[in-house]
Amino acid sequence: MKANAESILEVRDLVKHFPLTQGIVVKRQIGAIKAVDGVSFDLHRGETLGIVGESGCGKSTLAKLLMALERPTSGAVRIHGRDITTARGAELKRMRRNIQMVMQDPYTSLNPRMTVGDIVGEPFEIHSDVVPKGGRRRRVQELLEVVGLNPDHINRYPHQFSGGQRQRIGIARGLALQPEIIICDEPVSALDVSIQAQVMNLLERLQNEFDLAYIFIAHDLSVVRHISDRVAVMYLGKIVELGSDAEIYDSPTHPYTQALLSAVPVPDPEGRETRQRIILQGDPPSPANPPSGCHFRTRCWKAQDICAEQTPALEARPGSDHPSACHFAEARDVVNAQ
Amino acid sequence: MTEVLSEQVGRGSHSGALLEVEDLHVEFRTRAGVAKAVNGVTYSVDAGETLAVLGESGSGKSVTAQTIMGILDMPPGKITGGEIRFRGVDLLKLPEDQRRKIRGEGISMVFQDALSALNPVFPVGWQIAEMFRMHRGTSRAEARKKAIELMDRVRIPAAKDRVNDFPHQFSGGMRQRIMIAMAIALDPEILIADEPTTALDVTVQAQIMGLLAELQRDSNMGLILITHDLGVVADVADKIAVMYGGRIVENAPVHDLYKNPAHPYSKGLLESIPRVDHKGQELYAIKGLPPNLLEMPTGCAFHPRCPYRRDNCVTDVPPLYAISGTRGSACHYWREVIDEGER
């Protein structure tokens, strides 16, 4: 896991608003769900960027935008300098070859009527110039072997595999076109604990072998810490803090990151009586009508008048090196605080 | 509990724990064969105590809970042996009308997925009030008042205005609170929580676990927490039962198990989880797959995945060896596992 300086993916001011309409015959727009609301980051070759946040914060919409499965309202996603959000036709198809996805649910993301060979080989049908027809079966078997499945099982159907094995099939499909970037949207959250470790180790091994860059989306902060080089914390469509894994986990400066981290149960009963917890009240506000200024201010214990008036920018704050979108950013180790 | 019930269930006249499950066996008859979901589970909970039942999917933890509640679908389920004693009386021998009284008043349950556990076509207040109307014969107006009180108690904001809302109008965390309100409506002595926070975000999970702990403190309930999350267990449990392949493979007080596990499976689980408090190296992965309940491995169910395996593990089913008065491990070589050093 080395992070070279070369950035292969640049995201700039990405915005996606889903319109809310009223009326059946004459549709009027009455508002918008601000799913992604101004997100910018870089991804370097061979690194893993973890994206964490509660459900509804826009993580999965962001993933779809990066794949150009949704068109953004504004902003740019540049892969090697070319913008995928404006690409069409043959160019889009070519660009997508470089950015692939592993889905969350290994039970619904594989077609039950297709054999494993057909599933993993389908990318070659679409991008027929990657591997000549005669060599495809051979290549699929190689891919199965790479992800730790028995190549002889190429004619089996998804239901004949366990959850962890199915996730391996999904990973093999993601690898088929030899992309540089793989977006993993909650790849282990549907798996049992003992199987989770197997799949995470596989992802790390593949990264080293093929120099892959991962965008690793998950709600489990422990899993993200384990696999990520850098971590972005999202809240209501915005990145509120971005830094290396040590910066985010050991000296978080944004109150939301601190609350999120302190809510994670530590698998060790020693000292549980004295562990300090920041427990947020209530649920995140609706992304259709986010609070003015800082989106987090309605649940924040540091909120003051300025938070309602000015939206804090994601920038380096005094006393810490990594960017944080809080007017009162202050480093505090909440995970190891006893 | 009503007086009739307390006579039946002999309140205060027995010596064991509040709820005792002993050597429970449950199987499912399916077209593909007989799936042995629970193979001799024994555990107990006392008032005010929290027992965490830890295990992966298919380990039999939920089936055991459903059997205690008496909500197991039979058929295909079948209880083939064992006892479930609540206040010393074997629930499995009681007729259905008496079990129905205990369900809700003596033992009640919170389910994992609140959206599918709540009825989508009735207001939540009506569903909570139903508990009082059915069990206590309370009038509609009175039951509604009690429902609002309960919604306040589980801290649903503006309970009075939301009592007529439908389940889909609430967020996931709020729905789970409504489930909890229904479960504690009749002041049960035992609350079974089956993965109560698995579908929720961490911040909401912390709220719900805090609420459960508070309710338990207030009413001195016994709590059975069924989960696969080792972090949640470390936070709240007094004692732990680790299940694998329908058996309890290790039971222990919470501190002992985390410090020095005595079964290779619990040890493997603890080593395979990523930690939020430090990064660590490559994760230890338990190799292989959980057992197929239709074709259980011979001997110890864990032997195909076990690094401590010897020949007799393949042939002899290990009993739950007593390590101390409060601890047991179903491994022939538990001494070796435990001696390998403290974590």
Q: Which residues pair with A256 in a beta bridge?
A: none
Beta bridge partners of A183: A101, A215
**What is the average pLDDT score of chain B?**
86
Interface residue A271 vs chain B (CB under 8 A): no
Q: Which residues contact A152 (CB under 8 A, 6 or more apart)?
A: none
* Helix, strand or coil, per DSSP, at residue B175: helix
Take residue A144 and report the two structure tokens written for it.
């199965």
User: Are A323 and A336 spatial neighbours (Cβ–Cβ below 8 Å)?
Assistant: no
H or E element, residue B192? strand B190-194
Residues 6+ apart with CB under 8 A from A109: A103, A170
Pairing status of strand A181-185 against strand A99-102: parallel
What φ, ψ does residue A332 adopt, rounded to 5°?
Answer: -155, 125
Return the H-helix or E-strand segment holding B158: none
Rounded Cα–Cα distance for residues A334 and A257 (Å): 9
Chain A residue with minimal CA distance to B281?
A226
For residue A269, what pLDDT is reported? 84
Question: How far is the C-alpha of A179 from the C-alpha of B30, rounded, in Å?
Answer: 44
Helix or strand run (H / E) with residue A14 = strand A7-22
Chain B interface, best mutation among A167, A191, A192, A194, by max B CB count within 10 A:
A194
Q: How far apart are the C-alpha atoms of B245 and B55, rounded to whole Å?
A: 9
> Residue A197 — φ and ψ, nearest 5°?
-60, -40
Per-residue pLDDT at B171 exceeds 90? no
Identify which has the larger pLDDT, B228 or A214: A214
Average pLDDT by stretches of 10, chain A with 338 residues: 69 91 82 89 93 87 90 92 89 90 86 92 89 88 90 90 87 91 88 85 90 91 90 92 90 91 85 80 81 90 89 86 89 72
Q: Distance (Å) from the C-alpha of residue B47 to the closest C-alpha of chain A?
A: 20
Within 8 A by CB and 6+ apart from A267, the residues are: B230, B231, B233, B234, B258, B270, B273, B275
Is residue B343 scored above 70 in pLDDT?
no
* Cα gap A108→A103, rounded to integer Å: 9
Residue A200, chain B, CB below 8 Å: the answer is yes
| Candidates B203, B209, B258; nearest CB to A269 | B258
Band the pLDDT of B114: cuts 50, 70, 90.
confident
- The DSSP H or E segment spanning A215 is strand A213-217
Helix (H), strand (E) at residue B265: helix B264-272
Q: Which two tokens stand for residue B268?
A: 């493997």
| Residue among A200, A279, A336 minimizing CB distance to B277 | A336
The whole-angstrom separation of Cα A101 and Cα B2 is 58
Q: Is A286 on the interface with B (CB under 8 A)?
A: no
Q: Is omega for the bond preceding B76 within 30 degrees of 0, making it cis?
A: yes
> From the list A162, A221, A283, which residue is nearest B202 (CB)?
A221
CB-nearest partner of A279 from B206, B237, B258: B206
The CA dihedral of A323, A49, A248, A322, to the nearest 10 degrees, is: -20
Is residue B1 very low, low, confident or very high in pLDDT (cuts 50, 70, 90)? very low
Candidates B203, B232, B256, B295, partner chain A, best to mutate (most A CBs within 10 A): B203
Cα–Cα separations (whole angstroms), residue B211 to A271, B104, B196, B197: 20, 19, 12, 12
pLDDT in tens, B74-109: 888 889 989 999 988 888 888 888 888 888 889 999
Computed over every residue of chain A, the mean pLDDT equals 88
Per-residue pLDDT of B128-146, as tens digits, reads 998 888 888 888 898 898 8
CA distance B276 to chain A (A): 4
Q: Which residues contact A163 (CB under 8 A, 6 or more apart)?
A: A106, A107, A190, A191, A192, A195
Give pLDDT, residue B342: 54
Q: Which of A215 and B272 is assigned the larger pLDDT? A: A215
- CB B202, CB B118: distance < 8 Å: no
A219 touches chain B (CB under 8 A): yes
Q: What string of H, E and C letters represents the secondary structure of B53-94?
A: EECCCCCCHHHHHHHHHCCCCCCCEEEEEEEEEECCEEHHHC
Q: What is the pLDDT of residue B223?
A: 93
pLDDT band at B13 (very low <50, low <70, confident <90, very high): low
pLDDT at position B2: 45
CB-based burial, A303-321: b 16+ in 10 Å, e otherwise: beeebeeeebebeebeebe
CB within 8 Å: B289 and A226: no
Please tell me the predicted confidence (pLDDT) of residue B277.
76
Check: CB of residue B112 under 8 Å from CB of residue B192: no
pLDDT recorded at residue B99: 87
Q: Is the ipTM above a cut-off of 0.85?
A: no
User: Burial level of A156, CB count in 10 A (0-12/13-18/19+)?
Assistant: middle
**Tens-digit pLDDT profile for residues B190-216:** 999 998 888 778 888 888 888 888 889
Q: Do B282 and A201 touch (CB under 8 A)?
A: yes
Q: Note the pLDDT of residue A135.
A: 87
